[in-house]
Amino acid sequence: MGKAGRKNKYETHVKPYLSKIPNWYLTKTEAQIAKKLGISQAAWTNYKKQYPELMECLQMSQEDLVDELKGILKKKAQGFYYTEKTKTVIKEGGKESKKIEEKEKYAQPDTGAIHLLLKNFDPSWHNDDKQTMDLKREQNEIMKQKAEAAQW
């Protein structure tokens, strides 16, 4: 006697795409990936728990994404050159012609990115005011105590 209920779609809808999922993970959310695979988000969550190969695939994808984002953040912190393309359609005498213009531009270093990188990668560098941080900690402790007192 067979089990009642829905048939597991992992073998047919997920496993054949394990090699493609890392690329999808770079540009899509897990909900979008589940939809692309034709499964529900609940099934996706269950499959992650049930199949270690899927979880490993996602962890590698996440590590790749983090590495890529770190590279982008570093590039943004240092400033970089990029090519901007503009497309213009010109109409003359009933004829259309397209003109593509390329300009090299420079993106200035981003101080927010610089700050974040220095704060995370250089333990000797920080610009958080110690007194302000101590006051915030004290304020959080007082709020916590008030919340606990209110529960009694």
Q: What percent of the chain has pLDDT over 70?
A: 93
Task: Report, in this order, helix, strand and coil percent for the chain, each rounded to 5.
Answer: 60, 15, 20
Model confidence band, residue 92 (pLDDT cutoffs 50, 70, 90): confident
pLDDT at residue 133 in the model:
77
Number of structural domains in the chain: 1
pLDDT at residue 38 in the model:
94
> Residue 19: inside a domain, yes or no?
yes
> Residue 5: inside a domain, yes or no?
no
For residue 101, pLDDT beyond 90: yes
> Residue 136: inside a domain, yes or no?
yes
> Residue 34: inside a domain, yes or no?
yes
What residues make up the domain containing 98? 10-151
> Residue 1: inside a domain, yes or no?
no
pTM for the model: 0.59
pLDDT at residue 82 in the model:
95
> Residue 4: inside a domain, yes or no?
no
pLDDT at residue 152 in the model:
64
pLDDT at residue 4 in the model:
63
> Residue 78: inside a domain, yes or no?
yes
The closest of 86, 81, 88, 87 to 104, measured between CA atoms, is 81
pLDDT at residue 39 in the model:
95
Do 9 and 38 form a contact (C-beta atoms < 8 A)?
yes
What's the CA gap between 52 and 64, in Å, rounded? 18
| CA–CA distances in Å: residue 98 to residues 5, 10, 48, 85, 95 | 58, 48, 49, 13, 10
User: Locate tokens 């916590």: which residue?
Assistant: 144
> Residue 143: inside a domain, yes or no?
yes
